[in-house]
Structure 1
Amino acid sequence: MSAYRTSTKLKLGLILAAVAIGVASLAFTQRLADRLEAQDEQAVELWARAIEFQFQVSAQAAGPGPEVWDGIAEAVRAADLAPSRRDSLLAAVDTLRDGPPSDGLDFVFSEIVEPDRFSIPAVITDTAMTAASLWRNVPDDADFLRLAREMDDVHEPIRIEGAGFGEQLVHYGESPLARMIRLFPYVQLGVVALFVFVGYLGFSYVRRSEQSSLWVGMAKEAAHQLGTPLSSMIGWVELLRLGDAADPEMIADELEADVDRLRRVADRFEKIGSVPALVPTPVRPVLDAVADYIRRRVPTSGPPVAIDVDVPDWLTARLNVELFEWVIENLLKNALDAMEGVPGPHEITLTGTELSGEVVLLVRDTGKGMDRATARHVFRPGFSTKRRGWGLGLSLARRIIDEYHAGQITVDTSAPGEGTTFKIVLDAADVGELDPEPAVV
Structure 2
Amino acid sequence: MTAYTTSTKIKLGLILAAVAIGLGSLVFTQRLADRLESQDELAVELWARAIEFQYRVSAQSVGPDPEVWDDLARATGASALEPERRAALLAAIDSLRDGPPSDGLDFVFSQIIEPNRFSIPAVITDTAMTTAMLSRNVGEDEDLLALAAEMDAVHVPIQIQGFGQLVHYGESPLARMIRLFPYVQLAVVALFVLVGYLGFSYVRRSEQSNLWVGMAKEAAHQLGTPLSSMIGWVELLRLGDAVDPEMVADELEQDVDRLRRVADRFEKIGSMPALTPTPVRPVLDAVADYIRRRVPTSGPPVAITVDVPDWLTARLNVDLYEWVIENLLKNALDAMEGMPGPHEIAITGTEMGGDVLVFVRDTGKGMDRATARHVFRPGFSTKRRGWGLGLSLARRIIEVYHGGQIVVEATAPGEGTTFRITLDAADTASS
Q: TM-score, normalized by length of structure 2?
A: 0.94
In the aligned structure 2, how far is the partner of 1:428 from the partner of 1:129? 93
Question: Is 2:37 the counterpart of 1:40?
Answer: no
- Aligned ranges for residues 310-321 of structure 1 at < 5 Å? 310-321=307-318
Deviation digits for residues 194-213 of structure 1 (CA, Å, limit 9, x no counterpart): 12211221221122122111
- How far off its partner does 1:127 sit? 4.2
Question: Is 2:416 the counterpart of 1:416?
Answer: no
- How far off its partner does 1:367 sit? 0.7
Deviation digits for residues 215-234 of structure 1 (CA, Å, limit 9, x no counterpart): 11111111111110011101
Aligned to 1:151: 151
Aligned to 2:250: 253
Deviation digits for residues 305-337 of structure 1 (CA, Å, limit 9, x no counterpart): 222222222322222211111111101100110
User: Measured at CA, do residues 20 and 422 of structure 1 come closer, stay the same or move farther in structure 2, by a change above 3 Å?
Assistant: farther
User: Measured at CA, do residues 408 and 67 of structure 1 come closer, stay the same or move farther in structure 2, by a change above 3 Å?
Assistant: farther
330-339 vs 1-10, which moves further: 1-10
In the aligned structure 2, how far is the partner of 1:289 from the partner of 1:30? 72
In the aligned structure 2, how far is the partner of 1:432 from the partner of 1:112? 96
Question: Is 2:391 the counterpart of 1:391?
Answer: no
User: Measured at CA, do residues 211 and 169 of structure 1 come closer, stay the same or move farther in structure 2, by a change above 3 Å?
Assistant: same
Aligned to 2:355: 358
Residue in structure 1 matching 2:325, options 324, 328, 348: 328
Question: Is 2:226 the counterpart of 1:229?
Answer: yes
Question: Is 2:72 the counterpart of 1:72?
Answer: yes
Unaligned runs of 5+ in 1: 435-441
Residue in structure 1 matching 2:215, options 207, 215, 218: 218
- How far off its partner does 1:45 sit? 2.1
In the aligned structure 2, how far is the partner of 1:379 from the partner of 1:304? 28
Aligned to 2:422: 425
- How far off its partner does 1:356 sit? 3.4
- Aligned ranges for residues 94-243 of structure 1 at < 5 Å? 94-161=94-161, 163=162, 165-166=163-164, 168-243=165-240
In the aligned structure 2, how far is the partner of 1:172 from the partner of 1:360? 79
- How far off its partner does 1:274 sit? 2.0
User: Measured at CA, do residues 279 and 150 of structure 1 come closer, stay the same or move farther in structure 2, by a change above 3 Å?
Assistant: farther
User: Measured at CA, do residues 49 and 358 of structure 1 come closer, stay the same or move farther in structure 2, by a change above 3 Å?
Assistant: farther
User: Measured at CA, do residues 212 and 339 of structure 1 come closer, stay the same or move farther in structure 2, by a change above 3 Å?
Assistant: same
- How far off its partner does 1:42 sit? 2.3
User: Measured at CA, do residues 355 and 133 of structure 1 come closer, stay the same or move farther in structure 2, by a change above 3 Å?
Assistant: farther
Question: Is 2:309 the counterpart of 1:290?
Answer: no
Question: Paired residues, what number?
Answer: 431
- How far off its partner does 1:259 sit? 0.4
- How far off its partner does 1:128 sit? 4.6
User: Measured at CA, do residues 256 and 107 of structure 1 come closer, stay the same or move farther in structure 2, by a change above 3 Å?
Assistant: same
Question: Is 2:261 the counterpart of 1:264?
Answer: yes
In the aligned structure 2, how far is the partner of 1:355 from the partner of 1:127? 94
- Aligned ranges for residues 302-317 of structure 1 at < 5 Å? 302-317=299-314
- Aligned ranges for residues 6-21 of structure 1 at < 5 Å? 6-21=6-21
* SS of aligned partner of 2:377: coil
In the aligned structure 2, how far is the partner of 1:203 from the partner of 1:48? 58
- How far off its partner does 1:246 sit? 0.7
Q: Which amino acid aligns with 1:432?
A: A
* SS of aligned partner of 1:377: coil
- How far off its partner does 1:294 sit? 0.9
Deviation digits for residues 6-64 of structure 1 (CA, Å, limit 9, x no counterpart): 32233223223322332332233234323322322221222122112112112112222
- How far off its partner does 1:155 sit? 3.0
Deviation digits for residues 248-276 of structure 1 (CA, Å, limit 9, x no counterpart): 11111110100010011111111122222
Q: Which amino acid aligns with 1:334?
A: N
In the aligned structure 2, how far is the partner of 1:183 from the partner of 1:55? 39
Aligned to 1:367: 364
In the aligned structure 2, how far is the partner of 1:309 from the partner of 1:5? 42
User: Measured at CA, do residues 128 and 424 of structure 1 come closer, stay the same or move farther in structure 2, by a change above 3 Å?
Assistant: farther
- Aligned ranges for residues 15-34 of structure 1 at < 5 Å? 15-34=15-34
Superposed CA RMSD = 1.9
* SS of aligned partner of 1:410: strand
User: Measured at CA, do residues 190 and 39 of structure 1 come closer, stay the same or move farther in structure 2, by a change above 3 Å?
Assistant: same
User: Measured at CA, do residues 172 and 314 of structure 1 come closer, stay the same or move farther in structure 2, by a change above 3 Å?
Assistant: farther
- How far off its partner does 1:130 sit? 4.5
User: Measured at CA, do residues 65 and 405 of structure 1 come closer, stay the same or move farther in structure 2, by a change above 3 Å?
Assistant: farther
Q: Which amino acid aligns with 2:107?
A: F
In the aligned structure 2, how far is the partner of 1:44 from the partner of 1:360? 79
- How far off its partner does 1:343 sit? 1.8
In the aligned structure 2, how far is the partner of 1:79 from the partner of 1:217? 123
Q: Which amino acid aligns with 1:115?
A: P
Residue in structure 2 matching 1:279, options 276, 279, 286: 276
In the aligned structure 1, how far is the partner of 2:354 from the partner of 2:154? 70
Residue in structure 1 matching 2:378, options 366, 377, 381: 381
In the aligned structure 2, how far is the partner of 1:129 from the partner of 1:283? 98
Aligned to 1:87: 87
Percent identical: 82
- How far off its partner does 1:422 sit? 1.5
Question: Is 2:408 the counterpart of 1:405?
Answer: no
User: Measured at CA, do residues 27 and 348 of structure 1 come closer, stay the same or move farther in structure 2, by a change above 3 Å?
Assistant: farther
- How far off its partner does 1:126 sit? 4.0
